[in-house]
Amino acid sequence: MTQKKVELKIFGMTSNECEGLVSKGLKTRDGVKDAVIDFKLGLGTVEIDDTKVSPEDLIRLPVFTQSHYRAQIRKVE
């Protein structure tokens, strides 16, 4: 297991409820260990096991492709 931290720029969030929906949507993917979302900053920090999920996989999840939320990868550590 190789753990990485992915920082996402997230568009379309307007409330704490949005934070919860995006976090829940990210955590449905196997390999996502944690997701901390801040709607005020429009940022998300996601800890992943990169043997199971890639940073690019995150922005293709249904939470971003089947809703009005959109995401871009800002940084991978």
Q: Where are the domains of the chain?
A: 3-76
Mean pLDDT, rounded, for 2-23: 98
Q: Is the pTM of this model over 0.75?
A: yes
- Kindly report, residue by residue over 28-44, the tens digit of the pLDDT: 999 999 999 999 999 99
Rounded CA-CA distance 71/17 in Å is 17
- Amino acid 49: pLDDT: 98
For position 51, what pLDDT does the model report? Answer: 97
pLDDT at 47 over 80: yes
CATH class held by domain 3-76? alpha beta
Percent of all residues in the chain with a pLDDT value above 90, rounded to a whole number = 99
Q: Does the structure show a pLDDT above 90 at 1?
A: no
